[in-house]
């Protein structure tokens, strides 16, 4: 994987974590991605495991320019603070983009670590992390642009989380769109129009109910009814994902943020419902896969 990235021509997407939900201890980590273009890295979402997975790519910690958060669920933001990675030497110029109250969350995190940051700064004569630049994204529209990429956002449907965002990254050589967590929505098809890659969350409904029952039996503090109601109101069955990819006319569809995130469902089973509608390439995401 490191060789694939090192020898790569052009922009690469690495799927760092591909599991849905805030459940630790699985082979797939919680959701996170990095895009690597011209030596600059752009991180999207920071589920538990993002820092280790990032390190496994071999991309240096000096590379991240920007971090993007789709929405404030644990499986997308719980490791945002730790990834700021002052200890690892991430540049203090890194910027973060995401829904409010990301500014407050960032300063609260840095405050909570102030004692440790100051011990470290004193010990190693380093410049302490005071703050980073945070740009809140409350709505759909242009988010940022630099010499590598133009980024825009779209509002998706993931109640009660408001706003929950999808993002599109237009690099010079390819465009990559992300649904974030959402029910199937037209806004994602519009945003992803003509993109090279659409990374869409995907739920395989027949396996979800048995998974949920199993989780509840193992003592997860939630009822089966409440959990299933949440799944249906908040996530996208994989056939609908195929429909959206077909409407958007993307080249490649990546099924990720898999629900349930169990390895007993084969790639063919994941692909088939989407392939009824979408005739392009369908990739079933795995952690550290390079697209």
Residues at the contact surface with Zn ion, assessed by CB under 5 A: 73, 75, 181
Distance between CA atoms of residues 76 and 256, nearest Å: 13
Smaller CB distance to Zn ion: residue 37 or 77?
77
Q: Tell me how far, at minimum, the Cβ of 193 lies from Zn ion, in Å.
A: 24
Smaller CB distance to Zn ion: residue 21 or 37?
21
Q: Tell me how far, at minimum, the Cβ of 81 lies from Zn ion, in Å.
A: 18
Q: Tell me how far, at minimum, the Cβ of 63 lies from Zn ion, in Å.
A: 25
Quickly list DSSP for the chain.
Answer: -HHHHHT--S-EEEEEE-B-SS--SSSSPBSEEEEEETTEEEEEEE-TTHHHHHHHHT--TT-EEEEE---SSHHHHTTHHHHT-GGGT--TT-EEEESTTHHHHHHHHHHHTHHHHHHHHHHHTPPP----EEEE--SSEEEEE-SSEEEEEEEE--TT-SSEEEEEEEESS-EEEE--S-SS-HHHHHHTTT-SEEEEEEE-HHHHHHHHHHHHHTT-SS-HHHHHHHHHHH--BHHHHHHHHHHHT-SEEEEEEEES--TTS-HHHHHHHHHTT--SEEEE--TTEE-
Smaller CB distance to Zn ion: residue 148 or 236?
236
Q: Tell me how far, at minimum, the Cβ of 235 lies from Zn ion, in Å.
A: 8
Smaller CB distance to Zn ion: residue 63 or 202?
202
Smaller CB distance to Zn ion: residue 75 or 287?
75
Q: Tell me how far, at minimum, the Cβ of 31 lies from Zn ion, in Å.
A: 6
Smaller CB distance to Zn ion: residue 75 or 239?
75
Smaller CB distance to Zn ion: residue 75 or 196?
75
Q: Tell me how far, at minimum, the Cβ of 285 lies from Zn ion, in Å.
A: 13
Distance between CA atoms of residues 227 and 260, nearest Å: 12
Smaller CB distance to Zn ion: residue 31 or 51?
31
Q: Tell me how far, at minimum, the Cβ of 271 lies from Zn ion, in Å.
A: 21
Of 66, 81, 75, nearest to 32 by C-alpha is 75
Distance between CA atoms of residues 162 and 156, nearest Å: 9
Q: Tell me how far, at minimum, the Cβ of 170 lies from Zn ion, in Å.
A: 24
């Amino acid at each position: 994987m490191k060789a694939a990235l090192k020898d790569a021509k052009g922009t690469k997407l690495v799927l760092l974590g591909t599991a849905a939900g805030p459940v630790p201890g699985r082979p797939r980590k919680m959701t996170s991605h990095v895009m690597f273009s011209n030596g600059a890295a752009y991180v999207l979402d920071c589920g538990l495991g993002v820092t280790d997975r990032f390190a496994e790519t071999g991309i240096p910690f000096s590379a991240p320019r920007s971090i993007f958060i789709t929405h404030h669920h644990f499986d997308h933001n719980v490791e945002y603070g730790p990834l700021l990675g002052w200890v690892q030497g991430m540049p203090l110029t890194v910027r973060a983009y995401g829904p409010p109250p990301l500014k407050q969350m960032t300063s609260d995190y840095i405050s909570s670590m102030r004692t440790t940051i100051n011990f470290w700064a004193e010990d190693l004569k380093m410049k302490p992390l005071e703050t980073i630049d945070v740009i809140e994204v409350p709505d759909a529209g242009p988010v940022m642009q630099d010499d590598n990429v133009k980024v825009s956002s779209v509002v998706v449907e993931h109640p009660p989380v408001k706003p929950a965002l999808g993002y599109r990254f237009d690099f010079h050589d390819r465009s990559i769109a992300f649904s974030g967590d959402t029910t199937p929505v037209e806004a994602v098809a519009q945003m992803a129009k003509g993109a090279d890659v659409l990374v869409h969350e995907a739920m395989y409904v027949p396996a979800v109910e048995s998974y949920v029952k199993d989780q509840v039996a193992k003592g997860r503090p939630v009822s089966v009814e409440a959990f299933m109601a949440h799944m249906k109101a908040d996530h996208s069955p994989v056939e609908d994902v195929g429909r959206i990819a077909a409407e958007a006319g993307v080249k490649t569809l990546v099924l990720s943020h898999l629900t349930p995130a169990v390895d007993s469902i084969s790639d063919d089973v994941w692909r088939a419902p989407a392939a009824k509608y979408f005739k392009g390439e369908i990739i079933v995401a795995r952690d550290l896969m390079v697209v």
